[in-house]
Structure 1
C-alpha cells in the first residue's frame, strides 16, 4: 500500500482573498472566504488544526457551516479534524457529505479512503479506490493490495496483468503475482484450454497473449513463437503480436526482423511509452553487442524525436560513451543538440568525446562557439585551453585558461586540471618558474583531496 502524504498550506497575501467556490481540483486548505465573520472562523479553524487543537477547529468549522451548510470544502475540513481525533464515524459522514456535494473533487474521495483504510474497512476502500483511479492511475497498486487483503486473487491477478501490459510494475506487484500463481487453485487457464479458445474465438487477442506468456514461462520458446505468428495472422493489426515477435527475433539473432517488428511497435498508438522504451533498450544492447543495425537504431531513435519527457538521443549517446564507442557517442550527442542546443551536459560530454579521440580542432571550435552561449561556464574554458595546448598555441592557451579559472567554484578536480593545463602551457612557452608554480599548485590541491 503506497504511503499517502498530502502537503497542506495556507497563504494569505495582504488583503487578497479567494472564494471557496473558485477551487476545483486543488487541496482546499489554501482558501480564504470573503466574509468577515465567516473568514475569521474559517482561518481560526485552520490555525487550530495547525497546532493540533482539533476540537477547537471543529467548533470553528461548525460556525461556518451555519452560514454555508452545503459548502463541500467545510465538510472536508471537518472530516480531516475528526480523522485526526480518530473519530471515524464522524469523519466518514463529513467526507461523504463533501463527496455528495462535489464528486469531482479528488481530495474528498481521498478523505473517505483514509477513513476506510485506517478502520480496515477494505470492501468500502475498494469502492473508493476504484473511483480514485479515475483521477490517478497509480492507485491501481492500492487496488491490487486491497484485492489481496480481501482474498480476491483472480481480480488482483487480472489487474496486475493489465498493468503489466502498459507499464513496468513495482516489486510489490511482482511479489503478489508470484504469490497468486504459486497457488494451484488460482492458476491461469491451462494451455490446452487457451488453444481451444483460440480455435473457437480466433479474434480474441487476450487468449493469445496469455498462451504466449505460459509458453514463455515454461521455456517453450518455439511454441510461444508459433502462437505469436498465429496472432499476427488472425489479427493482422495486433500491436501485441509485434511486441512478442520482436523478442523472439532478437533472441534468435535476426536483427532485420527484430527491427521491423520494433518499428511497428514504436509507431503504434496502442503501446505505452514505457514498453517502447524497453524495446528500444533491448535493441540498443543488440546493436552494441553485434556492431550491426546502426541505421535501424537511428530510425528508432527518430521516432522519439518529438518526445519531451526524455531526450532519447542523449541517453543513447551516454550509453555508447560508457561503452567507449566515442564515434557513436559523438553522433548521438550531435543529434541530441539539434533537439536541445543549450543542454550544457551534452555539450561537455561531446567535448570530452572529441578530446578522447584527439580531435582538438573540433574541441576548440565547439568550446569557443558555446562560450558565446555560456560565458561563465568554466569547463568550456578548460576544454578550449586544453585544445590550444595540444595544438601548441601555448600563449592562447594561457589567455583562455586564465580567463576561465576564475569561474571554477567548489570543484577541486576541475581546479587541479586547470592548473595542470596552465603548467603545460607555460612549459611550452619555456617559462619554467610558472610551469612549476602551477604544477605545485595542482599537487597541493591533490593532497587536499586526500
Structure 2
C-alpha cells in the first residue's frame, strides 16, 4: 500500500519558481551557468535587439531580487519594465500575476496568469496559479476547468488530482469528487486518506452501506490498526446501530483491553442504552489507562461539572461520587499536571468539599502558577472559610503575578480590615478601586469596604463619602444602610438620616436581628426608649448576642428598670463580649456611655 500523506497547493516561493515556472522545461540539477543560460533563453523574444534583450533580462532579474526581499511594489515595477520590452514571455507573465496577487489584487492578476498558460501550455505551475486565482475569486467552475485541463493534458501531473478532488468536495460536487478519487486510486492504489474522504461523502449522501463498505476496506487494509475498527463502530453508533457498534468495540478490546478510546466509546454506548453500571465501569477503566491523556480526562470532568447541581440546589450523591472518583484517578495518574489538580479542585468545590478543593488548587499553582482563575478560586475559598491570614498571603502572592487585577487588591484590602489593620486595608482598596474604574459593580464593593475602613480610622468625611457613593448607585444596599446608620448613631451625628436609613432597612428585612438592633439603637440615640425597646426585643427573640443584650440593658436602664438592666448586662458579659464599659456598668449598677 502506498502511503501518501497529502498533496497541497504548491508553495509560491522563489526557489521553486526559478527552477520550475520560469522555463517550462524538464527540471533537474543544474549549475549556476546553466540556469543563467536558461533565464536568457526564456526571456529572449524572437528578432529582438540585443540591447533590449539585455535590458529585459536585467529588469527581470532585479524583479526576482525584490521578490526575495518581499518588496513587491519594486518587483512589480521591474517586471512591468521587462514586460514593455517582451510582453509575450510566459515566465514574465507568470511573475507579474504572482506579484500582483501577493499585493492583494487578484482580479488584476488573472489576465497575466491566463497569458502565461496560453504562452506555455506545458508548465503545470502556470495552471496552478491560474486555478488559485480563480478559486480566490470564487470562480470555482473556471478553477475546476483549469485543474482538469492540467491533469488531463500534461503528463506526470496525477498528484494534482488531489487538488481537483478537494475543489469538487468544497463545491459539494460529490459524484465528481468520487470519480476523481477513483482516478487517484487507479494511480496510487489504496490510500487511507482517500478512503476516509469517500466515507465522508457517502455519509453526506446518506449512503450508509457504501460508507460502511469503505470502512471495511480500511479494516482489511490493516486489521492490526484499531482506529479503523473504532471509526466503523462510531459510524454504526451514530446511525442508531449501537449493538453492532458494541460488537466491533469488543473485538478491539479482545486485542487491546486497555484501549482508552474503545472504553470511552463503550461507556457512552452503554449510557445511551441505560446500562449505567457498565457505562461507569468502562469509564473508570478508561481513566485508569496510562494511554489516556490528561486533556481528554479534563474534558470529560468538565462535562460532569456542568451536570453537577450548584448549591443551594439539592445534591446528587451518585453523580458527585462518580465525579470525585474520576477526579481522584486523574490526579493519581498525572501527579505532575497542574490541570489535573485544577479540575479536581473544581469538582471538589462544587460538591461542597471546600478544604479539599483548596488543597487541590494549591497543588495546581505549585506546578503552574500562571493561571489567574486558579488563584481566584483559592482566594474565594479563603474568604468563604474565613481564613484571613491565608487570604492576605495568597492575595499578595497572586499580586506579584497579576498586579493589575482589581479583585486581588479588593480581597487583600478586605483581609487587612478583618485583621484590624484599616490603614493597610485602605492602601490596597484605594489602589484597586483605580483599576476597577470601568467596573461599576466592583467600584461599589470597594466603596463599601472603604466606608468601613475610614470609619475605623475616624476619618468620617471620607467614610460618609464612600457610603454615599454606594447609595447613589444602590440605594437599597443593606450593608451600607446598616453600617452607615449605626456609625452615625455612635457619633450622634445626623440621627434623622440614620433613622430614615434604618427604617428602610427593617422594612426590607423585618426578620434580621442585626438590622433590628441597629434601628433600635438609632431610636435609643434619639431618646425614643420605648421604640428602641420594641425593636431590641424583636431582635433578641431572633438571636442572642452580647452587643444586642448590652444595648437592651441600656434601654431598660433609661426606662427606669435598673435591676432588669443589670441582668441583661450580666448576660452580655457571660457571652464573653461587650463594650469596654460593661464591667463598670455591672459593678456600679449604673449606665455609662
Task: Give the structure-2-normalised TM-score.
Answer: 0.48
Structure 1 residues 140 and 263: alpha-carbon distance in aligned structure 2, compared to 1, 3 A threshold: farther
- Within the candidate set 461, 464, 472, 1:444 is matched to 472
How far residue 445 of structure 1 moved from its aligned partner, in angstroms, is 5.0
Distance in 2 between residues matched to 1:86 and 1:304, nearest whole Å:
56
- Deviations, residues 409-448 of structure 1 (Å, cap 9, x unaligned): 433332221111111223445665443221112233559x
Quote the residue 2:330 is aligned against. Answer: 300
Distance in 1 between residues matched to 2:383 and 2:132, nearest whole Å:
58
- Deviations, residues 241-280 of structure 1 (Å, cap 9, x unaligned): 3342343466624535312223437547xxxx98676555
- Deviations, residues 161-219 of structure 1 (Å, cap 9, x unaligned): 94899xxxxxxx8xx776412x57755349xx96x998999656466335523542454
Tell whether the 8 Å contact from 1:232 to 1:238 is kept in structure 2 after alignment.
yes
Q: Does 1:188 align with 2:203?
A: no
- Deviations, residues 27-82 of structure 1 (Å, cap 9, x unaligned): xxxxxxx9999369969994499xxxx9x896246479999969986663266667
SS state at 1:264 partner: coil
1:216-235 residue pairs with structure 2 within 5 A?
Answer: 216-217=237-238, 219-234=240-255
Quote the residue 2:98 is aligned against. Answer: 76
Distance in 2 between residues matched to 1:164 and 1:326, nearest whole Å:
52
Quote the residue 1:386 is aligned against. Answer: 414
Tell whether the 8 Å contact from 2:178 to 2:198 is kept in structure 1 after alignment.
no
Structure 1 residues 141 and 411: alpha-carbon distance in aligned structure 2, compared to 1, 3 A threshold: farther
Q: Does 1:113 align with 2:137?
A: no
Quote the residue 1:29 is aligned against. Answer: none
1:332-351 residue pairs with structure 2 within 5 A?
Answer: 332-351=360-379
Q: Does 1:241 align with 2:241?
A: no
Tell whether the 8 Å contact from 1:381 to 1:400 is kept in structure 2 after alignment.
yes
Distance in 2 between residues matched to 1:22 and 1:343, nearest whole Å:
45
How far residue 335 of structure 1 moved from its aligned partner, in angstroms, is 3.9
5+ long unaligned stretches in structure 1: 1-18, 25-33, 102-107, 166-172
Tell whether the 8 Å contact from 1:45 to 1:61 is kept in structure 2 after alignment.
no
Structure 1 residues 115 and 257: alpha-carbon distance in aligned structure 2, compared to 1, 3 A threshold: same
Q: Does 1:435 align with 2:474?
A: no
Quote the residue 2:280 is aligned against. Answer: 255
- Deviations, residues 81-115 of structure 1 (Å, cap 9, x unaligned): 675354362366799999759xxxxxx96764333
Q: Does 1:290 align with 2:315?
A: no
SS state at 1:188 partner: helix
Higher mean C-alpha deviation, range 120-129 or range 388-397 = 120-129
Q: Does 1:213 align with 2:234?
A: yes
Distance in 2 between residues matched to 1:444 and 1:160, nearest whole Å:
68
Distance in 2 between residues matched to 1:389 and 1:129, nearest whole Å:
76
Structure 1 residues 220 and 150: alpha-carbon distance in aligned structure 2, compared to 1, 3 A threshold: closer
Which of 1 and 2 has higher RCO (CA within 8 Å, sep 6+)?
A: 1
Aligned residue pairs, count: 385
Alpha carbon RMSD of aligned pairs, Å? 5.9
- Deviations, residues 205-234 of structure 1 (Å, cap 9, x unaligned): 466335523542454544432331122114
Tell whether the 8 Å contact from 2:323 to 2:347 is kept in structure 1 after alignment.
no
Quote the residue 1:418 is aligned against. Answer: 446
Structure 1 residues 78 and 186: alpha-carbon distance in aligned structure 2, compared to 1, 3 A threshold: same
Tell whether the 8 Å contact from 1:317 to 1:332 is kept in structure 2 after alignment.
yes
Tell whether the 8 Å contact from 2:308 to 2:320 is kept in structure 1 after alignment.
yes
Quote the residue 1:5 is aligned against. Answer: none
Distance in 1 between residues matched to 2:64 and 2:369, nearest whole Å:
53
Structure 1 residues 372 and 59: alpha-carbon distance in aligned structure 2, compared to 1, 3 A threshold: closer
Q: Considering only CA atoms, is the larger Rg found in Structure 1 or Structure 2?
A: 2
Distance in 2 between residues matched to 1:423 and 1:225, nearest whole Å:
65
Q: Does 1:122 align with 2:144?
A: yes
Tell whether the 8 Å contact from 2:324 to 2:347 is kept in structure 1 after alignment.
no
Tell whether the 8 Å contact from 2:94 to 2:116 is kept in structure 1 after alignment.
no
Structure 1 residues 147 and 437: alpha-carbon distance in aligned structure 2, compared to 1, 3 A threshold: closer
Structure 1 residues 144 and 246: alpha-carbon distance in aligned structure 2, compared to 1, 3 A threshold: farther
Tell whether the 8 Å contact from 1:398 to 1:422 is kept in structure 2 after alignment.
yes
Distance in 2 between residues matched to 1:222 and 1:365, nearest whole Å:
56
Q: Does 1:148 align with 2:173?
A: yes
Distance in 2 between residues matched to 1:431 and 1:58, nearest whole Å:
78
Tell whether the 8 Å contact from 1:72 to 1:98 is kept in structure 2 after alignment.
no
Tell whether the 8 Å contact from 2:60 to 2:92 is kept in structure 1 after alignment.
no
SS state at 2:285 partner: helix
- Deviations, residues 143-167 of structure 1 (Å, cap 9, x unaligned): 74256355435969x96994899xx
Distance in 2 between residues matched to 1:133 and 1:431, nearest whole Å:
78
Tell whether the 8 Å contact from 2:131 to 2:146 is kept in structure 1 after alignment.
no
